Structure 1
């Protein structure tokens, strides 16, 4: 199964490499057809420079060769291919070096090599000064193209502008093809792309993109004027000016710009028709292409929605980090390495080395294998751990025994270190899992209104804390409160031991839990997070606490427990015991959810929380009888009766805590 997965992954990588090479081959071949004034191909050379080295660069170089054969005369193809080969060779030579990591290295290198090749031809011409400006302009275009194509291939920068540049440079190769009436489909497509960019990016970028696009078109057409630079620059400026309005307004202003320029330059009748064709295509583009700020404004994404999304993404990132710990468990070290290293240092120069490790290899192996359990149990090797036939045959047995003990000590230290690291790793893994759950819970409840439970019953609470005999302070802590989400909560925590130290632990636990719940965090996520934090704390202090949480939402009750004593629900003369099997908070080495129970409640119900100093699930018959026979409706009287019965039975050998909730449809909410 593992082998099949690896083959599938390798096949996808090969397919991705072939696809990338194919794209570079066809783009470089197509860009070769874009020729600017002077007969230069700066766009193809810039793309070859951006393609880099290796198979991708080789594919781009092959595309240049095919494009030169299809589009260029022999002399032009020769100087073009000479520059392309030099750029590829130089990129390969500098690959991996520190200068090559600079973002300006590739553009400057391509400009330098372009000038090196073409200046040779320039000096041989009879019109040096006339051809100098077109050569310099083509060199600059080569460097700019190398930079922009690099951003596109690496998926960096403003992808919309880089895609516009690639599209325009590709369309310049077919700009000379015209329909009847002199209309060029390539220039019409350029008008559509420019209008789309200006509408999405605004007035400034629209004007700049229009001017650059027009300059490229003027250079490729060989015109003596900057007609297209002026026309496209004005069109981008006006279209970007109306980017906050509908597409029709932007298209209308673009057509107006073409109309004005056509009136000024009388000999360019095709500009208006090409612009109108481009505007028509722009108006029929699907709305999903306009994924920038305009669509976001219509979606009315609120700050709360963005915050919820950010919390969910953070939760997913922490969950992935948690999963990565599970995939990368440290391998265990084989104890055989002890003997391997000891034999390497002791037996290599021994005269009996061939006898022990070749002729009698099985006997030697069994002797050391039989001694391994004694070594690991005792932490030290003794002569009696090895059989007499081996110890009597070994002429360097004392030295071998010393070497084995040294390697054994190092092995045990490494194992102890790995165990400590594994414990730290599990602890960190649990923390990441709890943080992920906490963020996910917060995100799911963010901005949600409190659920409507109908007419919630009123409640009254009674409570008693009684310390152990001989102590002045109870180690148990209780708390009851109502959250802004409409939940009523009762908490009881029993700290390890008795007295002031136990009280500090239990009260700290309740204080942290209360803050979590009042912040609107889901109870189970809050408990798991607190349990993980207490696990780290218990590794230093050795202490732990129980947590008993009851939550009332409308007429539904829920109980969550970490090592807590039973809780009881009294409905008339019937009593339900609710227990749990989880360890107390702080004793879990792995993330563990609390025990939980959910049940409906009605008027006249009692919910009773106790600590283990009152009773446990094996000795609570007296408490079940007391609850079943209690006739009143005062929770404080019931709590007092329970503690009084504990004293009567002489069981005050531990701290006692009792908290009682009574539900009623009438009366005010009251905590005692």
Structure 2
């Protein structure tokens, strides 16, 4: 029955209120879902049926697997693994095992049934104690040994031999349990990336061999099924895994089959030799691998003491070869992808790593775009929005003034209703004049306002008082805007760094087979036998080559190999790293890489005002990444500890931001924002930064309130200067970037204002400084810094009136310690 719930239109069904429309629709959908299974459920059911049939097939074969004429060590281990791995299929697995044993004899069937019942009884007890099945192998040992002991005692009187036999079968079952725990789930794995360890491969081969023992005695036209399948399996493993895996599979298969039937003992030699020979010939594809089995069959049949007729052995091998030849290539490639050490496995790993790399790069790019979007949200609006914001501020300010003045005036209606434009314009001009001068300085404006307003002076006083309140609000608003600017700049910098990082992640190792062969051939021509050459990169300025040399006792890598690579690549190559391959042999692994085109030699002279210990100047030189060198001087305002703290924090911030990979212009703007927000005190610092590209020789100067820098080239001296205010003085700093091309032998000199303004008697300090630098007869950076410092102190009559810092650097071509040798150069462009 349905009851209509009055005005609300709610339907009651079984005591619960549901929507008259949505509820019925929901019922319809649920009925449809319940009436037909989804595609996922159908697929799961099909998968369960396949797993069930496979388990029953394996159980039937293992139920027939008898070794040493009477032992059944495979049944209970398989049942225990199924109980642990997929408990819902334990009962079908039990029936399959009993069915397999029944196909042998009722005696074996009774033994298997008794073992299964005893296992279920003992397992139900162990579940109460060992819920995680940690003692599963012990349980299997107990069940198998007890069952064998009971069977033998029923047939004969119990003896020590019976106990020994039962113990051996139990120990075998316990070991097989550990093997099945690793191998049985592999039959049912549906993972896309299944990487087998060598131990798992061996366990899988043992399981397959155990299954083959269940086919002992099956014949097709007098051809043994277990022999044909075993040889086929060995061919598959030899072709996919090589000689090692093939020989291992052959030995294991032959051993298990010989345990099942002693007459098959010669099979171990045949299968092992076939696996070894087929694995060695795998490069010749399937036909070569198959020929390995045929050769092994002929040899073993000739020396097998007529245990098997030659024709039967050849026919069995030919059937295995036929099955092997018709096996689809995708099956063998998939199996090879699971076996470590194979080319297919390496390719699968590369595909997986490439996928992970692309996913990582994609995530990094998404973060880069996110930070860029966040920076835009923190950035400032366009000019129209800024002007509209200013107009709103004026309206709000004038409204606060009129609240305490015009609201109580009798001419309010006259001024703000009839003469709105005139009143608003006059008050706006008054506010601007008072903000600039503190009073109405324009006499015409004052006269107009007196004739227009009855309470003119009260309005002016109110404007002045409100302006003072607004100054505090504007200061807070400016700090907020500056914080937003700082966050925006930092987010842009982080976005750029993460974008570059994503590009670096996506770089792949290119194949340089021809270049590796050319290097080995060139080294062999001069008498060096290189064991291994790996070329990882040949980009100009980023060459990366790894070699294994037979020895490096006489520095052959530095004296011979590096010059040879330099001549071949037309780029200076040096030894980056060396290490011994092993502690016993002389083999040495050497890493070669590009050196920088230029090197920097520096010198510094530094002193505090009055010869004190603490200076207000700070400086730093650092190598940034691969190929950039930075020189920086910061001068804090004043002298002493406070100035030193200011300049040192500026240098430390600069160093950390530059080392993170953020652009130098963004770095300086960020430092300015941090220092201007940190304190309301007027404490500023200058910054003089020079960034040298060691590959191109281009230097970028970023000067913020600093003195000029100088470049000496022979007898010429050039000055580099910019007119920016010190860091922290204004909210938004403009950073002028000046670039110059340096040449080998150029001398770069940077200084603080204590050096530049040391002489009070000189009017044109720039020309005077150029002349002093030009007259110096040395190009040694340290000597230049010391001489300049000494000259400035002499000019000040021995007094140190300010903190002084001189930073000198000379740029030169990189000169290796070896000389190049002649060798035919290869064109690898």
Instruction: Report the Cα distance in structure 1 between the residues aligned to 2:404 and 2:687, rounded to whole angstroms.
Output: 51
Instruction: Report the Cα distance in structure 1 between the residues aligned to 2:46 and 2:727, rounded to whole angstroms.
Output: 60
- In structure 2, the partner of 1:566 is 708
Instruction: Report the Cα distance in structure 1 between the residues aligned to 2:680 and 2:493, rounded to whole angstroms.
Output: 23
- In structure 1, the partner of 2:492 is 437
Instruction: Report the Cα distance in structure 1 between the residues aligned to 2:723 and 2:449, rounded to whole angstroms.
Output: 54
2:376 is aligned with 1:320: yes
- In structure 1, the partner of 2:723 is 581
- In structure 2, the partner of 1:631 is 777
Instruction: Report the Cα distance in structure 2 between the residues aligned to 1:405 and 1:205, rounded to whole angstroms.
Output: 90
The structure 1 residue matched to 2:801, chosen from 653, 656, 659, is 653
- Structure 1 segment 22-37 matched on structure 2, within 5 A: none
Instruction: Report the Cα distance in structure 1 between the residues aligned to 2:376 and 2:752, rounded to whole angstroms.
Output: 39
- Of the structure 1 ranges 426-435 and 296-305, higher mean CA displacement relative to structure 2 is found in 296-305
Instruction: Report the Cα distance in structure 2 between the residues aligned to 1:459 and 1:355, rounded to whole angstroms.
Output: 78
Instruction: Report the Cα distance in structure 1 between the residues aligned to 2:448 and 2:665, rounded to whole angstroms.
Output: 64
8 A contact 1:462–1:660 mirrored in 2? yes
In structure 1, runs of 5+ residues without a counterpart are 1-78, 92-107, 119-137, 146-164, 173-189, 208-239, 246-294
Superposition deviation, residue 109 in structure 1: 9.9
Instruction: Report the Cα distance in structure 1 between the residues aligned to 2:768 and 2:666, rounded to whole angstroms.
Output: 35
The structure 2 residue matched to 1:515, chosen from 645, 648, 656, is 656
Q: CA offsets, 1:351-374, max 9 Å, x none?
A: x77778789999988987887677
- In structure 2, the partner of 1:140 is 27
- In structure 1, the partner of 2:599 is 458
> Structure 1 residues 587, 368: CA separation in 2 closer, same or farther (over 3 Å shift)?
closer
TM-score, with structure 2 as normaliser: 0.42
SS of equivalent to 1:501: helix
> Structure 1 residues 313, 357: CA separation in 2 closer, same or farther (over 3 Å shift)?
closer
Pick the structure with greater CA Rg: 2
Q: CA offsets, 1:369-424, max 9 Å, x none?
A: 88767766676899x99989997999xx67x865x478536642553254224312
Instruction: Report the Cα distance in structure 2 between the residues aligned to 1:144 and 1:579, rounded to whole angstroms.
Output: 82
Instruction: Report the Cα distance in structure 2 between the residues aligned to 1:305 and 1:542, rounded to whole angstroms.
Output: 43
> Structure 1 residues 113, 494: CA separation in 2 closer, same or farther (over 3 Å shift)?
same
In structure 2, runs of 5+ residues without a counterpart are 49-187, 194-350, 506-536, 543-593, 758-762, 818-829
Instruction: Report the Cα distance in structure 2 between the residues aligned to 1:597 and 1:198, rounded to whole angstroms.
Output: 70
- In structure 2, the partner of 1:127 is none
- In structure 2, the partner of 1:277 is none
The structure 1 residue matched to 2:20, chosen from 103, 113, 128, is 113
Q: CA offsets, 1:207-245, max 9 Å, x none?
A: 9xxxxxxxxxxxxxxxxxxxxxxxxxxxxxxxx996849
Instruction: Report the Cα distance in structure 2 between the residues aligned to 1:390 and 1:374, rounded to whole angstroms.
Output: 13
Superposition deviation, residue 110 in structure 1: 9.1
Q: CA offsets, 1:545-574, max 9 Å, x none?
A: 323333342342323322221112222222
Instruction: Report the Cα distance in structure 2 between the residues aligned to 1:662 and 1:88, rounded to whole angstroms.
Output: 92
- In structure 2, the partner of 1:496 is 637
SS of equivalent to 1:565: coil
Q: CA offsets, 1:227-276, max 9 Å, x none?
A: xxxxxxxxxxxxx996849xxxxxxxxxxxxxxxxxxxxxxxxxxxxxxx
Instruction: Report the Cα distance in structure 2 between the residues aligned to 1:359 and 1:313, rounded to whole angstroms.
Output: 54
8 A contact 2:620–2:633 mirrored in 1? yes
- In structure 2, the partner of 1:309 is 365
8 A contact 1:623–1:642 mirrored in 2? no
8 A contact 2:435–2:464 mirrored in 1? no
The structure 1 residue matched to 2:810, chosen from 633, 643, 662, is 662
SS of equivalent to 1:585: coil
2:312 is aligned with 1:425: no
Instruction: Report the Cα distance in structure 2 between the residues aligned to 1:408 and 1:620, rounded to whole angstroms.
Output: 49
> Structure 1 residues 597, 90: CA separation in 2 closer, same or farther (over 3 Å shift)?
farther
Instruction: Report the Cα distance in structure 2 between the residues aligned to 1:434 and 1:376, rounded to whole angstroms.
Output: 32
8 A contact 1:505–1:545 mirrored in 2? no
- In structure 2, the partner of 1:641 is 787
- In structure 1, the partner of 2:79 is none
Instruction: Report the Cα distance in structure 2 between the residues aligned to 1:443 and 1:333, rounded to whole angstroms.
Output: 43
Superposition deviation, residue 480 in structure 1: 1.7
- In structure 2, the partner of 1:556 is 697
Instruction: Report the Cα distance in structure 1 between the residues aligned to 2:633 and 2:604, rounded to whole angstroms.
Output: 10
SS of equivalent to 1:488: strand
Instruction: Report the Cα distance in structure 1 between the residues aligned to 2:808 and 2:448, rounded to whole angstroms.
Output: 76
Q: CA offsets, 1:499-537, max 9 Å, x none?
A: 222122112221222222333333333223222212223
> Structure 1 residues 657, 362: CA separation in 2 closer, same or farther (over 3 Å shift)?
closer
8 A contact 2:596–2:694 mirrored in 1? no
SS of equivalent to 1:332: helix
8 A contact 2:637–2:683 mirrored in 1? no
2:396 is aligned with 1:341: no
SS of equivalent to 2:811: strand
SS of equivalent to 1:341: helix
> Structure 1 residues 425, 500: CA separation in 2 closer, same or farther (over 3 Å shift)?
closer
Superposition deviation, residue 435 in structure 1: 1.0
Instruction: Report the Cα distance in structure 2 between the residues aligned to 1:566 and 1:87, rounded to whole angstroms.
Output: 89
Instruction: Report the Cα distance in structure 1 between the residues aligned to 2:22 and 2:768, rounded to whole angstroms.
Output: 101
- Structure 1 segment 257-272 matched on structure 2, within 5 A: none
Instruction: Report the Cα distance in structure 2 between the residues aligned to 1:642 and 1:581, rounded to whole angstroms.
Output: 24
Q: How many residues align?
A: 416
